[in-house]
Structures are given as structure tokens and as C-alpha cells.
Structure 1
Amino acid sequence: MLSNMAFCKLIFTGTVTWLFFLFISPSHAASSGSNIGYPEKVNLSLYYETLNPNCSNFIVQKLTTVFANDLISIINLRLVPWGNAFIDNSSKKIVCKHGPEECMLNTVEACAINVWNDNLNKYYGFIYCIEFLAIEGRHKDWSTCFENFGLTPKPILDCYNGGNGTEFSLQYANETAHLIPPGAFVPWLVVNNQPIREDYGNFTSYVCNAYKGSVVPNACKNPLPGTNLAKEASPAKTMSRFKHALQEHQIRKLKGQFV
């Protein structure tokens, strides 16, 4: 019989293989043409840090549901990896709450967001993979996410090693520092410039309430599909349910039920 850890790894391996075809597909890429049918998108910004358990769980178990239902059709999703990091005045170095490895992963994810800035699915899939590993305590294996999603490492490694990643991180630091009102904790979610504070787990409702378009996506109809995905305590059970949700999403997409 498989151990819990082996079972989680087995499900994760199978899931990322399936996710590759969904996330890398250009049908969900962030582009000017993605507004067809949903012209009045809602801005959804996530301010987070890579090794904070609440952030990792939110990204993997909650935020990812926007791809499992059609909520992604009505949002401009922004990820800002900085969180509680700060710049030490004496050393002029970035210091992160969860240590140097978090600083490194913050920068790696910042590189992914900016290098693949024209393909939301690509960089979100990569970040999703890293955060899943973080939940399991295997964030040191983050580089395996390139292979898991069929991605070329060179652009990200060049960004990180060449210093551009640090510049991106500092831009996120400045943005985070100028939030009004200031972010009180992570994850910190902002919907159309309004923070939703402790109720971030119900972000779908806030997005749907803010959406003023005439075409109402399935995610905003009652009952809201996919919003209870994170109630499973076991990562393995959560991933299993998420895989099923993605399969249902793929079927709806092929039938042309939404853009």
C-alpha cells in the first residue's frame, strides 16, 4: 500500500502532466483578445510570499479554481511575490521572513511572471507547481517544475542570475509598500483596488459582485462552482478533486460554453 507521501507524489505527477495541456494552452493566455465576451474585467491582485503556508495553500487550493471554472474569463489576475520581505539598510540586501530560500523563490517567481508576461497560464502553472512543493516541504525541488510543465529553464535562470529578477523584486517591493491601505498580512487580496482582508477565501464572491459585464460566467451563478475546493484537509484529496474540476472545465471549453 502506498504511503501518504508517495500517494501525494503520484497524484501530483499525474496532475501536472494533465495541467500542462491546460495551463500552456494559449486559450487562457492574458492578452488583449481574451476580453471577447467579457469586456469589463475585474482586477484581482494577490500580494504574497512564496514560503508562507497560508499563501501556498491559497494559491494551490483556492486561487487555482479560477481555471477550473470560468472565473478567469472575467479577471485580470496579478501576482506580486514580495509579502513581508524588506531591504536591510546596513547590508542593502533583501531579507525574507522565511529565510534566503524564500528570497530566492520570490525572485524566481518574479522572473517567471515578467519573462512569460504574455502567457498567464504558463507562469501560473510554474508558480502553482512551486507552491505545491512548498506545501509538501519539498520546495528545494522547485527546478523540477520546468520539466513537469515542459518549460525551458534558460530564460528564468538568465533572469535570476543576470540581476533582472532583483529589479523585478524591488519593483514589487515598492508596489507593496505603497498599498492603500497597507497590507496587514499575507495573502493580501485586492479586488479593483479594494482589499478584502480576512475574507480573502471568499474572493470569488467579491469578483462576481464587482463584475459589471452583461455576460455572466458560470463561476458567478448560484451555487458557485469550485469555491469549496479547499475544504479538503488532505493535499492528495484536494488535488484529486481539482483534477476532476479541470477535466470538467476542459469539456466545457471544448463545447464552446465560454470564451
Structure 2
Amino acid sequence: MKNFENLAVFLGLFVCIIELDGSIISSGLIDNYRQNRKLLEIGVYYETKCPDSKRFLINQITSAQEKFSSVVDFTLIPFGKANYTRDSINSDWNFMCQHGPDECYGNIIHNCLIQERPNFVDHFPFISCTMENIMINFEAQALECAMKHSVDYEKLKQCAKSTIGNNLLYQAGEKTHSLDPKLNYVPWITVNNLHTNEIQKTAEANLTYFICSELKDTITFSFCPRNGSISIYGCNSFFVMFLITFFKFLVDFY
């Protein structure tokens, strides 16, 4: 009887390892890597002075981008619920932001940095830093963050005060206003250019869990639940047990 118990444990652990090996990387993921594509594109439409935007960027994206940077492409669009007009076809745009002129200025600075450093990992540290304290003047926070993250803030200011910066914020506004369904809340979250209430609710509540759920049939990470309970880490932790049980089974059997 003891032999059968050991055999059952052995087979269970063996199946766990076989399933693990087959679930880590699927052929679809390999194809995406070969074509230099990310598996998910997550767009975040936000405002620099918005408390909900702050919470999402700092509490959710910071953690998620560290975990999923190899397979998820994060895109930030700083504009939110702003509007714009201009006096003539040759004049700069005038922007009206939900939280006032300081937010418009922050939105332009963020757009200028994103243009200067298009790689997400290069611009996100400064952006998230400037949103840590949204109650103070944007520039006061930005100057501190620029020193911390080696950003040439004078260059960003020149961009923000120029026609280039004005046009960058206008382009962010055009992209925001072209959303379907229309943005009525920030942060507004899209996945592969799609927005639904379910995406918004789940991703905003727990972005890591949401991404794990979206990728569960393609790739598995150690921090993602598998079949509701078992993770890669959990399965791998059985490997030593697998060896011990295997040899114990052989000894008992013979």
C-alpha cells in the first residue's frame, strides 16, 4: 500500500512539472517574440493633477511594469478631460484643464518628456515621481524629480513653452477625443485599443491580476495564479520533493 501512495505522489508531482513545462511559453508567444511584438498594449489616459490618476500610476503601473515589461507595452497619454480652442488657424492652442492651468503645464511637460524619451522605462520614473505629491506646484515637484532621475528640466521647459509642446498636447487631445467609447473618467484604460467597463474596473483595481488573467493561456509568471491556485513557483517548489519521492519509491519498491 505504501508503494502505491508513493507512486501516486510521484505521478502527481511529475504531472505538475510536465504541465508547468508546457505552460510557460506557448507557440503564440514565441511567434510574437520573433516578430518583436508585445502581447498586450495598455494605454492610460490621465491627468497630472488627478488623484485617481496618481493612485493608478503609482500603485498599479509601477508594480505591473516591473513584472511585465518584457511582454506588455505601456503607453501614457497625458491629457484627460481637458479641452482646447484657438483664436485663429495660425495661433497656438489654448487649453482648459480639469484641475487648472498647473495641470495643463504638467500635461505638456509629460508629453515633451515622452517625445524626448519614447521608451516607457526611460520616461515613467520621472512621470510617476512628479505625481507623488499632486497638492504642490507642479514645477516644484518636477524640479526635484528631474534631479533624482537625471532629466534636463530646462530642456523640457523650453519644449513646454514652444509651439512644439503646444502641438504635442493638442495631439494628445486629439487622440483622447477620438476614443470610442468617449472618455468620461480618468484614468481611462485601454487594452489593445479596446475599452470596456470590465477592463476599466478590473485593471484599475488590480492591474497585475488583470494582466495575469489576460495572458493566462499564453504565458505564466511565478506571481500569477494558475488554475485558481497553483503558480509556477508553487510547482517548481515541488521539484526537490519529486526527486525525494522518486528515490524513496524505488527503495521501497525494491
- Same structural fold, with TM-score higher than 0.5 when normalized by the shorter chain: yes
CA distance in 2, matches of 1:138, 1:220: 39
1:182 equivalent in structure 2: 182
Q: Which moved more, 1:193-202 or 1:166-175?
A: 193-202
Query: Deviation per CA, 1:174-229, whole angstroms, max 9, x where unpaired?
Result: 111011111120011111222223332233333233337744233434589xxxxx
The answer (yes or no) to whether the contact 1:38–1:215 under 8 Å persists in 2 is no
Q: Which amino acid aligns with 2:205?
A: G
* Aligned pairs (5 A) from 1:226-237: none
Q: Which moved more, 1:187-196 or 1:37-46?
A: 37-46
Q: Which amino acid aligns with 2:50?
A: N
SS in 2 for 1:194: coil
SS in 1 for 2:41: strand
Query: Deviation per CA, 1:88-132, whole angstroms, max 9, x where unpaired?
Result: 466951100111000000000011111111x32221001011001
Q: Which amino acid aligns with 1:57?
A: R
1:76 positional shift = 0.6
Q: Is structure 2 residue 65 aligned with structure 1 residue 72?
A: no
Ranges in structure 1 where 5+ consecutive residues have no aligned partner: 1-33, 225-259
The answer (yes or no) to whether the contact 1:130–1:139 under 8 Å persists in 2 is yes
Q: Which amino acid aligns with 2:116?
A: V
1:168 positional shift = 1.1
* Aligned pairs (5 A) from 1:200-215: 200-211=204-215, 214-215=218-219
Q: Is structure 2 residue 104 aligned with structure 1 residue 103?
A: yes
Q: Which moved more, 1:35-44 or 1:75-84?
A: 35-44
Q: Is structure 2 residue 57 aligned with structure 1 residue 59?
A: yes
Alignment coverage as a number of residue pairs: 188
What is the TM-score of this pair, normalised by structure 2? 0.65
1:247 equivalent in structure 2: none
The answer (yes or no) to whether the contact 2:81–2:184 under 8 Å persists in 1 is no
Larger radius of gyration: 2
CA distance in 2, matches of 1:88, 1:183: 19
1:133 positional shift = 2.4
What is the TM-score of this pair, normalised by structure 1? 0.64
| Alpha carbons of structure 1 residues 94 and 77: separation in structure 2 relative to 1, 3 Å | same
1:94 equivalent in structure 2: 95
What CA RMSD, in Å, does the superposition of the two structures yield over aligned residues?
Answer: 2.8
* Aligned pairs (5 A) from 1:59-208: 59-68=57-66, 70-88=67-85, 92-117=93-118, 119-134=119-134, 137=136, 139-141=138-140, 142-195=142-195, 196-199=199-202, 200-208=204-212
CA distance in 2, matches of 1:67, 1:40: 13
The answer (yes or no) to whether the contact 1:71–1:220 under 8 Å persists in 2 is no
| Alpha carbons of structure 1 residues 160 and 90: separation in structure 2 relative to 1, 3 Å | closer
The answer (yes or no) to whether the contact 2:60–2:207 under 8 Å persists in 1 is no
Q: Which amino acid aligns with 1:131?
A: M
Deviant stretches of 4+, over 4 Å: 34-40, 89-92
CA distance in 1, matches of 2:223, 2:168: 32
CA distance in 1, matches of 2:136, 2:152: 24
The answer (yes or no) to whether the contact 1:108–1:160 under 8 Å persists in 2 is yes
1:27 equivalent in structure 2: none
1:47 equivalent in structure 2: 45
| Alpha carbons of structure 1 residues 166 and 53: separation in structure 2 relative to 1, 3 Å | same
